[in-house]
Structure 1
Amino acid sequence: MPELSTKLQTMLRVAAWLCLAAVAFATLSPLGIRPTTGLPPSIERFTAFALVGAMFAAAYPRYILFAAAIVLGAAALFEFLQVLAPSRHGRLFDAGVKFSGGTVGLIAGWLSVRWFARR
């Protein structure tokens, strides 16, 4: 697989982890301070994890299983941690939406890197 430049790879990795941190904040913060877009919550969840998945796949294209473990593991962990938060609730359906978004993002990000690296 063609390589991305080291500088671009580093920037993608920093962006991926910052994106995951932002999703963690939005997922685990009290409802009163949680940022919203006005879209239905399932669309927000799917889109957020699709973005995280794409970022991690682009940041770690040679380690796609690592990227998948981080993204899908975070989806499970965040949903579990919501069960412990007094103002939040974790649901299996929400976890499924996050897994779906993360998987779509991982595939799209990995394919994009392969396509752009060849150009």
Structure 2
Amino acid sequence: MNLRRIASLLAWSLLCVIAYSTLSPLDLRPHMGSSVQIERFGAFGLTGLMFAVAYPRRLPSVLAIVLAAAVGLEFMQMLAADRHARLIDLAVKVAGGGCGVAAGWLLVRQWQRSRPEITGINRHAKLRG
């Protein structure tokens, strides 16, 4: 499996875990032990990063998916009896997702910049030996 395929599987899996955590009753929600806002930011940040690495040529769509998931899941909480949608939670999720996509874009860009040097070295090594 290549890196993009693994990132794609992780991205969709993370989105499913976030959906479960967001919509399940509070007592079934997984807790990491840190601040809930840090957990939200980190979850959407990691998801955005994985989507950006998985689909580097579709960054506007990736950003739309991550932000739409944050907005949609937050509004779906209004349907649950023991959950509540709050603007601050939405802001943290959107910020985390946006930062994750930006970090993924930078990571892919850096990888693409360093890759020609590596392939150039390998190509010259084959010519010499």
TM-score, normalised with respect to structure 2? 0.84
Out of 34, 44, 50, the residue aligned to residue 55 of structure 1 is: 50
CA shift, 1:10, in A, is 1.8
User: 1:93 and 2:99 equivalent?
Assistant: no
| Match of residue 69, structure 1, among 43, 64, 79 | 64
Partner of 1:108: 103
Q: Secondary structure in 2 aligned to 1:78? A: helix
Runs of 4+ in structure 1 over 3 Å off: none
Gaps of 5+ in 2: 115-129
Amino acid at match of 2:56: P
| Alignment counterpart, residue 9 of structure 1, candidates 4, 8, 12 | 4
Identity of matched residues, %: 49
Range moving further from structure 2, 56-65 or 8-17: 8-17
User: How many pairs were matched up?
Assistant: 114
Q: TM-score, normalised by structure 1?
A: 0.91
- Deviation track 1:79-106 (CA, whole Å, cap 9, x = no partner) reads 0001111110011111001000011101
Alignment of 1:28-39 (within 5 A): 28-39=23-34
In 2: Cα distance, 1:108 partner to 1:40 partner:
22
CA separation in 1, counterparts of 2:93 and 2:83? 16
CA RMSD of aligned residues (A): 1.2
**Structure having the higher Rg:** 2
Tell me which of the two structures has the higher relative contact order, counting C-alpha pairs closer than 8 angstroms and 6 or more residues apart: 1
